[in-house]
Structure 1
């Protein structure tokens, strides 16, 4: 089994809805994203996936979030079920990457997304 991980970061603000604490107020983070892909086979060039292509896909998602208030960006605007927590952000990015397949039976699949909101706190989303 092979895995590759691509890291990136972006800056964005958020506040936690229906939360009793300081994070209920608008504040910002430099969010760090780690997207890991997994597969059993390498291509003819000896790669699981082309890092450049993976970076392009992640950048498209991150560009929509960067320097925004996450509470005002779909899917986080609306009900508290879509609160822009680090957990929900990890799930959102995971599903966006999962949905960006090229339509072919690709050997490598998104395995997990980890989002860091600070150097000491992160959340990971993966399907079992």
Structure 2
């Protein structure tokens, strides 16, 4: 399996519901380093998994939907704990949609899998991975 990874970052604010989250129940900020790993069993005619420039642009467009936002105020997240794991799945779903819709060119349509890794810190990170065809991951 071949893979290509592009990276970016996103800054958000949010809070959590439930005693298990302790002080994180209060509004707080987080900066995530985001890695998107695109996977394909074979390379295309140009020997690429997918165009790296298009992959970076697509990731940025997805991240722009949450960057510098208070997730608690976004209707799509109402009543949900936007944990690192949850956000990885959410970003996966949006980026997989972009692949299927052609945002990464024809190479994006033939990808077999995608892994999204969010790093909260050098010591803590979470990921979601699945096929590009997976609908409604989040």
TM-score of the superposed pair, with normalisation by structure 1: 0.86
Using the TM superposition, give the Cα deviation of residue 73 of structure 1 relative to its aligned residue in structure 2, in angstroms. 2.5
The superposition leaves residues 26-74 of structure 1 with CA deviations (integer Å, 9 ceiling, x where unpaired) of: 1111111111111122122211100111111111111111111122235
CA shift, 1:12, in A, is 1.2
Q: Which structure dedicates a bigger proportion of its chain to helix?
A: 2
Does the residue aligned with 1:66 lie in a helix, a strand or coil? coil
- Provide the aligned length of Structure 1 versus Structure 2: 125
Match of 2:68, SS state, is coil
Residues in 2 aligned to 1:42 and 1:102: alpha-carbon distance in whole angstroms: 20
User: Does the aligned pair in 2 maintain the 1:29–1:118 contact within 8 Å?
Assistant: no
After superposition, the CA RMSD in angstroms is: 1.9
Q: 1:89 to 1:74 in 2, by over 3 A?
A: farther
Counterpart in 1 of 2:135? none
Alignment match, 2:6: 6
1:28 counterpart residue number? 29
Q: List gaps (5 residues or longer) in structure 1.
A: none
Question: Quick one: distance in 2 between partners of 1:41 and 1:17?
Answer: 44
**2:94 maps to which residue?**
96
Distance 2:73 2:97 in 1: 22
TM-score (norm 2): 0.81
Distance, in Å, in 1 between the alignment partners of 2:113 and 2:71 is: 23
Is the Cα contact below 8 Å between 1:90 and 1:114 reproduced in 2?
A: yes
> Where does the alignment leave 5 or more consecutive residues of structure 2 unmatched?
132-138
- Partners of 1:110 and 1:54 lie apart in 2 by 14
Where in structure 2 are the equivalents of 1:1-128 lying within 5 Å? 1-19=1-19, 20-76=21-77, 78-79=78-79, 82-100=80-98, 101-102=100-101, 106-127=109-130
